Structure 1
Amino acid sequence: MTNNPSKDQLQQNMDNIMSQLMQTEEASELWGLSQGYIKNLCANGDVIAEKIGRSWLLLRDQPNPKQG
């Protein structure tokens, strides 16, 4: 018998991961910067982010780049 996680455990893991991420719209509100500027920061590697399709996902607890 294998020890596979249940669907509920997997969903909880996914929820935990997603709670650590934000999209550019939320980052814009949180940091007081335009979405376009944040997308440029992402593309230049100036913030911790990953492009998924046409959207950027950013690590939520990173410092505000305008304060750095």
Structure 2
Amino acid sequence: MAKFIDLKPDRTANLDRQLRGAFRDIVTSKYVDTTQVKGDVKRLSKERGSIITSRNVRPVKTK
């Protein structure tokens, strides 16, 4: 009897990668307006099942 092989990509690994990308954008001050990033991080973390509060995102100071 053949083993069942799940060919779907690992969802949590994909979400982790997206979260890391979002945080990297925050750290490198890619976004001046953080509201979009906060929304992305909250949405991704909700899908991941972990709670990431908005206090992890500091507003970027405009020069």
TM-score by length of 1: 0.30
Which structure's residues are more often helix, by fraction?
A: 2
Bigger proportion of residues as strand? 1
